Amino acid sequence: EDKVVQSPLSLVVHEGDTVTLNCSYEVTNFRSLLWYKQEKKAPTFLFMLTSSGIEKKSGRLSSILDKKELFSILNITATQTGDSAVYLCAVLNDMRFGAGTRLTVKP
C-alpha cells in the first residue's frame, strides 16, 4: 500500500537550534515531493523536489530528495519561534500527505 511517513511526529527545540525533518515514501508513479508549512489552517508551499541530490534552499530552510532510498529531508538552521508549525510532506502523483511533524521552537 502506498504511504508517506514523516518523522519525528513532534519536536521541541530552542531558538538557534538546527532541526532535520524526515519524509519517507512508498508510492507508485512518483512525480514530485512537496514540503508545506502549516501554521494555522492553510498550508503554505516551501519546496518542490523532483530530482535526486539537488538541494533546494530558501533562507534558513533547505531540502533534498533521494529517489533511490525514497526519502527527503527538510533542514531548518538557526530556528526561530516563528518556525513553530506543522511541516507536511506530500507526494504527487498520489496526492498523498504524511501526518506531519509538529515543530515547537522555544525562546
Q: Where along the sequence are the contacts to another protein (CB under 8 A)?
A: 4, 6, 31-32, 34, 36, 40-45, 48, 88, 90, 92, 94-100
Q: Which is nearer to another protein, 5 or 17 (CB)?
A: 5
| Min dist. Cβ of residue 47 to another protein (A) | 9
Of 73 and 92, the one with the shorter C-beta distance to another protein is 92
Shortest Å, Cβ 99 to another protein: 5
Compute the least distance from the CB of residue 28 to another protein, in Å.
Answer: 13
Q: Which residues contact 56 (CB under 8 A, 6 or more apart)?
A: 47, 48, 49, 62, 63, 64
Output the nine-digit C-alpha cell for 101.
Answer: 511533524
22, with CB counted inside 10 A (0-12, 13-18, 19+), is: middle
Q: Which is nearer to another protein, 78 or 99 (CB)?
A: 99
- For residue 103, the one-letter residue type is L
Rounded CA separation 106/28 (Å): 39
63 is written with which cell numbers? Answer: 531540502
Min separation Cβ 45 and another protein, Å: 5
Which C-beta is closer to another protein: that of 32 or that of 104?
Answer: 32
